[in-house]
Amino acid sequence: MTAPPFSNVAEASVLGCLLLDPDKVFSILKENNVTSNSFYKAGHRTLFESAQRLFAYGKDVDAAMIANDLDGRGDLALIGGEGALTALMTGVASASHVSRYIEELKKHEKRRDVFRACEEGLKNIADPKNETASVVNAIEESFMSLDKDAIKQRAIGDVVKSVVCHAEHTRKHGPCASGLRTGIQALDNALIAIPPKTLCILAARPGQGKTALGMGIAMNVALGEQEGFVHFFSVEMGEEELVHRAMCSLSGVPSEAIRGGLAEDEEWELYRDAGERMAKAPILIDDTGGIDIAELRSRARRMKKKHNTSMVVVDYLQIVTCKDKASQGRTAEVEAVSNGLKAMAKELDLPVFALAQLRRPNVFDRKFNKPTMNDLKQSGAIEQDADLIALLRRPSSDPLDPDNVYEDLAIIDIEKWRHGTPFVEVRLGWNGSTTTFYDRIK
């Protein structure tokens, strides 16, 4: 079998420089994220780890101290004895060229990462138990991770600097600079701004307008000042029906007028103008039915790289599948989908809006049952993964709702919000003929 790529000369030269000038070289090694894993040969890794230990404890890092440390651990023979230390020191004239040696060392480390990713990919491909979509997703994930720094840990001081910088930017430019705005003022007042990496659950009982709300927010973002595309996965509704509804909402023309061929000339012009605006909107629509979460993540990942996606919408969560968990029951599938959407938000560094279904109220109930998080179907994992849970209801559709006299009222109950204040009621206007949510004048 082919051995992973490495450079014995580069590894030996870096270690030789380290022995000649440990203070200077350790500083440069830290800047370049050099770790013991940067060395392929076991003896070189062992020697480097010994030098790290001595340096961390404030002891001298020289051939005698390293030999003593390794001898006490029974590892001196692993590096080739004391003679190997002397050979490393005489192998380089000085530590002045250490940066060049480190560059070569890191190049081979990256190539080994690619080598291992290919090996793992081939193993997954060869295993007949693995679903194709899962294999593709796993391979893409492993290769995407190669583009990121191998060391993801950050000193807390560096994190503090980022947080303060972010807060200063928000202070100068307003909350919209720190996250996404939905374009619905009442909702934005409650949420302020939705940061990247956020999983937002917009849930409702059937027929309440959750798709209209999701598409409305997508349109507001796409036609607003937010840069990048909006990627809309319409798992339930076909793309033409989705766009038709959005055009009606944007134009203010009732859907029945267009479908029945009853639109007046003025309405028709408004409808067509809305279509022209939408045609220019940076929105990608994928209406693949029953899509697997691995495939969904794979497509979102590719579109992020190609179009710099700023937001992903999934309609809706409970009908996305996960073939790897199908044999364990629907609850396990939904849990895997929920986990996958949260992981996707973090990986792609953007907000993910997942629409979700709430259970219907019990027909035998004789009192108003306001929707709660417990009404989310297979809700355990969803509640845990979500950063935002917003429950939509239209009181006029429930005769037991105390606000059912208001035909144009829609209410969003913020049940969970990690970045702000939960348990807030947001009152919106609703136009059923155009399936539009809007800011309501009290």
pLDDT score for 150: 45
pLDDT score for 218: 92
DSSP for 244-304?
Answer: HHHHHHHHT--HHHHHTT---HHHHHHHHHHHHHHHTS-EEEE--TT-BHHHHHHHHHHHH
| Torsion 279-226-308-310 (CA) sign | negative
Domain with CATH 1.10.860.10 in the chain: 8-126
- Can you tell me the distance from the alpha carbon of 143 to that of 152, in angstroms, rounded to the nearest whole number? 16
pLDDT score for 186: 92
Summarised one tens digit per residue, pLDDT across range 191-226 is 988 999 999 999 998 889 999 999 999 999 988 877
DSSP for 344-395?
Answer: HHHHHTS-EEEEEEBPPPPTT--S-----GGGBTTHHHHHHH-SEEEEEE-G
Q: Which residue has better confidence, 138 or 109? A: 109
Summarised one tens digit per residue, pLDDT across range 245-263 is 988 998 888 888 888 888 8
CB 393 within 8 A of CB 208: yes
pLDDT score for 128: 82
- Can you tell me the distance from the alpha carbon of 306 to that of 312, in angstroms, rounded to the nearest whole number? 14
- Can you tell me the distance from the alpha carbon of 93 to that of 81, in angstroms, rounded to the nearest whole number? 22
Distances (CA, A) of 139 to 76, 123, 364: 39, 11, 50
- Can you tell me the distance from the alpha carbon of 47 to that of 31, in angstroms, rounded to the nearest whole number? 20
pLDDT score for 401: 83
pLDDT score for 187: 92
Given a cut of 60, is residue 327 above it in pLDDT? yes
Domain with CATH 3.40.50.300 in the chain: 176-439
Summarised one tens digit per residue, pLDDT across range 47-77 is 999 988 888 888 888 888 998 988 888 988 8
pLDDT score for 15: 92
Structure tokens at 419: 């970045």
Given a cut of 80, is residue 178 above it in pLDDT? no
pLDDT score for 131: 79
Given a cut of 50, is residue 149 above it in pLDDT? no
- Between 157-161, 179-183, 329-333, 382-386, the lowest mean confidence (pLDDT) is in 157-161
Could you please state the CATH topology (level 3) that the domain comprising 176-439 is classified under.
Rossmann fold (3.40.50)
pLDDT score for 291: 87
- Can you tell me the distance from the alpha carbon of 431 to that of 254, in angstroms, rounded to the nearest whole number? 9
Looking at residue 25, what DSSP letter applies? H
Looking at residue 440, what DSSP letter applies? P
Q: Which residue has better confidence, 140 or 335? A: 335
- Can you tell me the distance from the alpha carbon of 286 to that of 299, in angstroms, rounded to the nearest whole number? 9
* Buried b / exposed e along 113-129 (16+ C-beta atoms within 10 A): bebebeeebeebeeeee
Tell me the pLDDT of the chain averaged across its residues: 85
291, amino acid identity: I
Could you please state the CATH topology (level 3) that the domain comprising 8-126 is classified under.
DNAb Helicase; Chain A (1.10.860)
Mean pLDDT of 169-174: 66
Neighbours of 326 (CB within 10 A): 14
Summarised one tens digit per residue, pLDDT across range 391-418 is 999 988 888 888 888 888 999 999 999 9
- Can you tell me the distance from the alpha carbon of 429 to that of 38, in angstroms, rounded to the nearest whole number? 59
Q: Which residue in 366, 440, 423, 354 sits closest to 400, CA to CA?
A: 366
pLDDT tier, 298 (very low <50, low <70, confident <90, very high otherwise): confident
Summarised one tens digit per residue, pLDDT across range 330-354 is 888 888 899 999 999 998 999 999 9
Rg, Å, the chain Cα set: 29
pLDDT score for 365: 61
Structure tokens at 136: 């593709």
| Range 370-378, long-range pairs (CB < 8 A, 24+ positions) | 370/413, 371/203, 371/204, 371/205, 371/413, 372/415, 373/415, 373/416, 375/203, 375/205, 376/201, 376/203, 377/318, 377/334, 378/318, 378/330, 378/331, 378/334, 378/335
- Can you tell me the distance from the alpha carbon of 53 to that of 33, in angstroms, rounded to the nearest whole number? 17
Question: Helix or strand or coil: residue 328?
Answer: helix
126, amino acid identity: A
Given a cut of 90, is residue 426 above it in pLDDT? yes
pLDDT score for 367: 67
